[in-house]
Amino acid sequence: GPFTWGMTPEKAVENSLILDEICSMARLTEIINPAVEPIDHFLLDKHYLRKHGISAYYGQ
C-alpha cells in the first residue's frame, strides 16, 4: 500500500484521506468510462512544472 507523510501526524492522516479520495475518483472514472486513457504527458508536465519547474509561476 501507499505511504503518506505530513509535517504532523494529523497532516499525514489528512494526506492519506486525500489520496484515498483521489483513488476513489480514479476508480469511478474507470467504471463510468472503461475506455478512459491516461492524461497526456504534455498536460501532466504543464501542471507539475507551473509549480515546481525552473520557471514556476504558481502562487505568485
What ranges do the domains of the chain cover?
9-52
pTM for this entry: 0.69
Q: How far apart are the first and last CA of the chain?
A: 35
11-27 residue pLDDT tens: 999 999 999 999 999 99
- Give the separation between CA 54 and CA 35, rounded to whole angstroms: 35
pLDDT of residue 1: 84
Amino acid identity for residue 43 in this structure: L
In the prediction, which pLDDT does 14 show?
A: 98
- Mark residue 33 as left, alpha or beta (left: phi above 0; alpha: psi -120 to 50; beta: remaining): beta
